[in-house]
Amino acid sequence: MVCTIFKNIFSKQPYYVSVADALKRIEGGNSKDIVSEIRATLDKEKANKIKFNLPSVCFSGKFGADRKDEQLVEHSGFIVLDFDDVYELREKQTEIISHDFIYSCWVSPSGKGLKALVKIADGSKHREHFQALQEVFPEIDKSGINVSRVCYESYDPEIYINEKAAIFNKIKKTEKIATYEKTNDEDKIFKNLLKWLSNKNEAFVTGERNNFIFKLACACCKFGISETSANYMINSEFVSNSDFTKTEADRAIRSAYKANANAFGSASFDKEVLVDKVTRKEIKVDSIIENTDDRTKDVIYGIDVKEQALSLYDNGYAKVYGIGVQEIDERFKPKRGEVTLLTGIGNYGKSSFKKWYQAMRMVMYGEKFGTFSPEDNPPEEYYHDFVEIILGCDCTPSNPHRPSKQTYEYVYDYVCKHIFYVYPKDVSPTPEYVMEIFLELIVKEKVDGCDIDPFNQMANNYGKFAGRDKYLEWVLTLFSRFAQINNVFFWIIAHPKSMEKDNSGNYKCPDVFDINDGAMWNNKMDNILVYHRPFGQTDPSNPTAEFHSKKIRRQKTVGKKGFGLFEMVFKTRRFFFNGLDALQKVLNDNNINFSNDIKPQPQAKQNNWLPFKDDSGEEINF
């Protein structure tokens, strides 16, 4: 069972390895860094360019330098299947591997799809086996019918492999129709399509014009006419001589090409009959817009997520974990993939609250956090703050009862394993650059959460966009997508605008609409929290603090809107709830005493699959 691997999609040097070794490379992460970069890149075009650097695998056998079907030397007995745009990856994987003939299944490089390997009975009937598999999985990418189908190497430590998988024996017999002379002239093809539609009683008449243009554009796409050419010919033929607008035509053409992207070039004429190139069967006019194999892109159909819905029925919502403090947890528990806004009056302690909250999760769950917080510069003071929170006291010489230097150093080292301070020195801290640093921390340090404190300290280029609100819409969408793709907690700290004092001389609790462009923040954020000290102006030493959850998108799991009271005990650097030191309780419950050595957590065993050798004994160092 030998397959072919190339260093990248442009390479002409084939290497031959066993299918088992090719799957080990995916599990072991030979291309982990490149795949991680692809999954974190929001620009689809840029992600595709990065993907070209990945090793390329032809799982179906041994091929020559050009990876063409006719260059197949020996079939491996495998077919690779592509499942694109999968909403819930692991649930879909479970569905796929429920079939006993699935040899392997893993997440694609984009992180949005799945690949599956099937062992077939007869490699010489690759296409017939594939068409039979299409009846089992109608949603698979049709390009898998080609024996030379290239599969970019991915990374999935949870790859499914079943060496005892059953052999897929089914084949689908297809009708054989004699070959014929093809035409590649787009203008001639277009005229033939017009004649074909006319013969089918389809016409460009009032009330049916949008539908006609859509059908014609679908046919153009399936016949391999470029969208640009189709647009020009359709507009020239119909728009210039009617009151049907170019905008209407462009919209119909664009929609048709989008809906049939995977069917581009799949049809041809045979004696004035439009037929499918693969099945050689006639394509009916009505069926040309049904698009049964390729459903509307970017639409998630109910049937696609039925299993997830049934899981909700059986098991309820996936649990998210708080910090064991009822006053906070009832109102907010962080959920991976969501963006949370924390706001509050400047210099009232919202950043201190954020650090305390992260320290709680650090101790409880071992979570790690990366932060862009230039207002906390110099960085040694930022790390020092966490040490004081964990030790619960002032750790400078002004405290004669401070812990020993050995204890301080031990806790400092503990903090350094969980907290990472981002501070660009030579590069402007644009949102894109900060995201790059966060991504590197996610990959290298396995951080669980990222935060920007505060938002206005980034190099925000409002002038690049048509208004501040447009910039904000773009950047908040960027953060949201980043959090979702990388499955991390993401917090943004933002200051309210200038606020008025009430009759007592104190500031009222701010709201999201007290932030510049508050409506956009309210729309884009998953959660909006407020930290407030009601007596912060008239009595700065008053420890009373308020926690408000102003917006919670997923109230069934994350929390409910509301507020709670607690105290900031300055001497301990911690927050108390009903007189209880929540962090000290966590330390006590877990028998953690930082005066003693902290036991190191066991490191996960790393699989080292390198170096690989092809069947001639030559090492493959990529």
Render 368-412 in DSSP notation, one character per residue.
-EEEE-GGG-SHHHHHHHHHHHHHTS--STT-TTPPPHHHHHHHH
CA distances in angstroms from 147 to 60, 130, 171, 173, 301, listed in the order given: 6, 10, 15, 17, 30
Give the pLDDT score at 275.
Answer: 64
Give the pLDDT score at 276.
Answer: 64
Cα torsion 357, 359, 364, 365 to 10°: value is 90
Give the pLDDT score at 1.
Answer: 82
Quote the DSSP letter at residue 583.
Answer: H
What's the rounded Cα separation, in Å, for the pair 545 and 535? 9
Domain range annotation of the chain: 2-161, 185-299, 326-590
SS3 assignment, position 551: strand
Question: Which residues contact residue 114 at a Cβ distance below 8 angstroms, ignoring those fewer than 6 apart?
Answer: 82, 83, 86, 89, 92, 93, 96, 105, 106, 107, 108
Q: How far, rounded to the nearest angstrom, does the alpha carbon of residue 278 sit from its chain's CA centroid?
A: 34
DSSP bridge pairs for 113? none
Give the pLDDT score at 291.
Answer: 46
Whether the Cβ atoms of residue 76 and residue 19 lie closer than 8 Å to each other? yes
DSSP 409-446: HHHHHHHHTTEEEE--SSS---HHHHHHHHHHHHHHH-
What's the rounded Cα separation, in Å, for the pair 353 and 125? 65
DSSP bridge pairs for 552? 527
CA distances in angstroms from 469 to 466, 483, 508, 509, 516, listed in the order given: 8, 21, 26, 24, 9
Q: Give the domain 326-590 fold.
A: Rossmann fold (3.40.50)
Give the pLDDT score at 298.
Answer: 65
- CB-CB neighbours of 297 under 10 Å: 12
User: What is the token pair recorded at 96?
Assistant: 């796929």
CA distances in angstroms from 535 to 418, 493, 517, 539, listed in the order given: 34, 21, 27, 5
Is cis: bond before 602, omega within 30 of 0? no
Q: Which residue, 266, 183, 182, 185, is CA-closest to 221? A: 266
Determine whether 265 is exposed, middle or buried from the number of CB atoms within 10 Å of its CB (0-12, 13-18, 19+).
exposed
H-type alpha helices, 492-563: 518-524
- Give the predicted TM-score (pTM) of the model: 0.54
Give the pLDDT score at 252.
Answer: 85
Residues (pLDDT < 70) of the chain are 173-184, 206-207, 240-243, 269-298, 595-622
Q: Which residue, 389, 386, 457, 439, is CA-closest to 417? A: 386
Amino acid at 171: I
Whether the Cβ atoms of residue 461 and residue 428 lie closer than 8 Å to each other? no
| The Cα angle at residue 156 between residues 152 and 157, in degrees rounded to 5 | 145
SS3 assignment, position 366: coil
Give the pLDDT score at 370.
Answer: 97
Beta strands in 247-396 (DSSP E): 267-270, 273-276, 339-343, 369-372
The count of C-alpha atoms lying within 13 angstroms of the C-alpha of 249, restricted to the half-sphere facing its C-beta, is: 21
Whether the Cβ atoms of residue 217 and residue 211 lie closer than 8 Å to each other? no
SS3 assignment, position 285: coil
